[in-house]
Amino acid sequence: MFNDDVEQPRVLVVDDDVFMRGMLHNLLETQGYQVIQAEDGLKALSVFRQQTPDLVLLDAAMPVMDGFTACAELKKIEVSFDVPVIMITALDDEESVDKAFSAGAVEYITKPVHWAVLRHRVKVILDARQAQAAMRKSEARFRGLFEQAAVGIGLVDMQGRCFQANPGLQQILGRDIGDLLDRPFDKLFYPSDSVVEKEFHHKLLTQQISHYQMEKYFFRKESAIAWGRLTTSLVKNEADQPVFYVQMVEDITERKRAQTKQRLAAKVFETTSDGIMITNAEGRIIDVNQAFLLMTGYSYEAVLDQNPRFLQSGHHDRAFFDNLWMQVRNTGRWRGQIWNRRQNGDIFSVWLSISAVRGEHNQVTHYVAVYSDISSLKENDERMRLLSHYDPLTELPNRLLFHELLTRACRQEERVALLYLDIDGFKRINDLFNYDVGDACLKEVATRLRRCLREGDQVARLDSDEFAIVMSPIHQKYDTRVITDQIFAELQKPITVEQHTFTIDCNIGVSFFPSDSIQADQPDGVEVFIQQADMAMFMAKENGKNTCYVFTELS
C-alpha cells in the first residue's frame, strides 16, 4: 500500500556499499522522495517493519543476508504485498535475474547504474503502484491519479477494445478520447498480433506471468513515427476472473531516436575512409575503425588497451608532443601533420585531428583522433587490396573481419547474440549441377540473410556453406527468435537458377555473450563464444532440418 501519513513517497535503500547508498540517497532526495537506509538484508527487514516504505532499492550481494533472501523475506511481511522491489546489482547473469524476479522483484537494474534510467524507472514504478493502490481504495482517488499519471494508461476490455484512456495516453498518441474509445487497442500499435506477443498474452491469461512488455511504433496524427513501451497487465475480480487489461504506455521516441543516431554514428565510424581512434581519459585505446587498421596494418586485438605511442615514427621530438597535448588541454583540440609508423615499419604522413570529449561535469572522458592518410594513394589502394576483409562471391565480411566485428561488439557493454548457420546438403547442389549454380545459390542466400537482419546487425560468410550473424545489442530474449524465424521462412522460399529450382534447408546455433559460462572480461571470451555457437549448431543438425538450438539449453 502507499503511505498516507507522509507527503513524499518513502524509499528504502539497502546496500552494503556506503558510497552507493549515498549516491542513491542524493539522487532520490533531489527528486522529492523521502529516503531511509539499511546496510544489509537483515537490517532492512527491521527498518521495513518500523517504517513501511513505498519502494525498496535492494542490492543483491551483501553480507549477513543477501538481497535475494531479503526480498523473499520482505514479501512474507503482511503489509509488504504490494511494495515493489527494484534489484540493483552488479550481477548480470540470467540465473541472478531469474532468481531476483522469483523472489518478488519487479525490476532489475545492473551496475554501473545509468542514473537517468533509474530516476525514470523509480518514477514510473511509483506512479503505477500508486495508481493500483488508488483503484483498490476508491474510485474517486483512482480517478484523480488516473487523470494525472505521467504515463499513458488505457483500460481495455476482454475483447481488446479500449473503454477508458487517461490524458497521458491521449497526449502520447496524439488522439482525443473520442478517437480511442471502443477502438481495438492493439491496432493502434505496430506490429500487432506477433507470434511472440501471442505467447506472452497466453501466459498472462494462464497466470504464468503477471505482466509483459513490448516496444512498438505508432503514428501520431500529422507527425512522424513514434515509439512506445507497452506494459500489459490483467485485472481480475474477486472470483479470480479476468475483467479488463491495463495498458501502460511510455513514450520512448527520444530514446529510439538517440539509438538511431548512435547506429548512424557507428555506421559512419565503420565506413569513413579516415582512420578513427578512440581512447579513454588515460590515453588507452578502446576502439578503432576498419580504416585505421588498413592504414596502420595492425589487427584490432593488437591495438586495444594500448597507448598510441606505438605509432610514433621518431620524426618528432618530445617538445612536439608536449606542445600538442598542451593545446589539447587548453583548447580541447589539435590539428596538424604528423609522421607515424605502420606495423611493417613503413613511415607515412597523416593529417591528424584530436578532440577531447567531456562528460556532464566538464571532465575529459575520452579522446577522439581522426587520421587522414596523405601518403601515396597508389600505396593505399594496394594495401587495401592486400588486406581485403570481404568474401569476393557474396561481398559479405569474411572470417577475419567477422572476428573483428564480433570482438568489437563484445566490448560494447551490451548483450550480444551469435547465430551460426549451416546450409544442409549444399555439396549436393554442386555435385548434381555445377559450381556456377552453387555460387548463384550462395549469393541469393546472402541477399536473403541481409533482408532478415535488424539495422546494425552483421552477417558474414565463414566457409563454403557456413554463415555467422552478430546481433547487437540484444534487449529482449525473443529478438533472436524473431530473426531465426525470418531466416527459416526466407530460405525455404524457392530459389531458381538456370531453370533449376531449389529450396534451402538450414540449421542455426545460437549463443549469448556475456553468459553464465563467459564473463565480459574473460580473455578468451570471444573464442569460447564462437565455440558455443558452433556446438549449438551441431546440436541443431542432430535434431533435424530447419531447427534452431540455443547453447544455454544444453544439458
Q: If you average pLDDT over residues 263-276, what whole number do you get?
A: 78
Farthest CA pair distance, the chain: 84
Tell me the per-residue pLDDT of 462-502, one tens digit each, with 9 for 90 and over: 988 899 999 988 887 778 999 999 999 999 999 888 888 88
Higher pLDDT, 476 or 407: 407
Q: If you average pLDDT over residues 313-321, what whole number do you get?
A: 90
Higher pLDDT, 263 or 17: 17
DSSP SS3 for 2: coil
- Cβ-in-10-Å burial (0-12, 13-18, 19+) of 406 comes to buried
Under a CB-based contact definition with an 8 Å cutoff, are residues 55 and 125 in contact? yes
Higher pLDDT, 270 or 29: 29
Q: Is the pLDDT of residue 196 over 90?
A: no
CATH number of 149-256: 3.30.450.20
Looking at residue 376, its pLDDT comes to 52
> What is the amino acid identity at position 3?
N
Looking at residue 101, its pLDDT comes to 92
> What is the amino acid identity at position 435?
Y
Q: If you average pLDDT over residues 47-56, what whole number do you get?
A: 90
The CATH class given to the 390-550 domain equals alpha beta
* Count of beta carbons in the 10 Å neighbourhood of residue 67: 31
Looking at residue 460, its pLDDT comes to 94
Domain ranges of the chain: 10-143, 149-256, 272-377, 390-550
Q: If you average pLDDT over residues 286-307, what whole number do you get?
A: 91
The CATH class given to the 10-143 domain equals alpha beta
CA 153/CA 172 separation, integer angstroms? 10
Average pLDDT, the chain: 86
Looking at residue 137, its pLDDT comes to 65
Residue 553 DSSP code? G
Residue 4 DSSP code? S
Q: Is the pLDDT of residue 435 over 90?
A: no
Cell numbers 575520452 correspond to 366
Q: If you average pLDDT over residues 129-152, what whole number do you get?
A: 69
Higher pLDDT, 109 or 380: 109
Degrees (nearest 5) of the Cα angle 145, 146, 152?
A: 125
Tell me the per-residue pLDDT of 344-395, one tens digit each, with 9 for 90 and over: 999 888 889 999 988 878 888 899 999 987 765 545 554 564 456 788 888 8
User: What band does 52 get if pLDDT is binned at 50, 70 and 90?
Assistant: confident
- Dihedral of the alpha carbons of 102, 107, 112, 115, in degrees to the nearest 10: -170
- As a whole-number percent, the residues of the chain with pLDDT over 70 amount to 92
Looking at residue 139, its pLDDT comes to 62
Looking at residue 8, its pLDDT comes to 82
Tell me the per-residue pLDDT of 151-189, one tens digit each, with 9 for 90 and over: 888 999 999 999 988 888 888 888 888 888 998 898 888
Looking at residue 309, its pLDDT comes to 92
Cell numbers 550480444 correspond to 416
Q: Is the pLDDT of residue 57 over 90?
A: yes
Q: Is the pLDDT of residue 102 over 50?
A: yes
Cell matching residue 118 = 533509474
User: What band does 436 get if pLDDT is binned at 50, 70 and 90?
Assistant: confident
Q: Which CATH number fits domain 272-377: 3.90.1580.10, 1.25.40.10, 3.20.20.70, 3.30.450.20?
A: 3.30.450.20
Looking at residue 542, its pLDDT comes to 85
Looking at residue 378, its pLDDT comes to 46
Examine domains 149-256 and 272-377 and report if their fold is the same: yes
Under a CB-based contact definition with an 8 Å cutoff, are residues 420 and 508 in contact? yes
Looking at residue 331, its pLDDT comes to 87
- As a whole-number percent, the residues of the chain with pLDDT over 90 amount to 34
User: What band does 551 get if pLDDT is binned at 50, 70 and 90?
Assistant: confident
Tell me the per-residue pLDDT of 496-539, one tens digit each, with 9 for 90 and over: 888 888 888 999 999 998 887 788 778 788 898 999 999 999 88
Looking at residue 135, its pLDDT comes to 65
CA 168/CA 150 separation, integer angstroms? 6
Q: Is the pLDDT of residue 100 over 70?
A: yes
Q: Which helix (H) or strand (E) holds 417?
A: strand 416-424
Cell matching residue 396 = 559479405
Q: Is the pLDDT of residue 272 over 60?
A: yes
Tell me the per-residue pLDDT of 64-87, one tens digit each, with 9 for 90 and over: 899 999 999 988 887 777 789 999
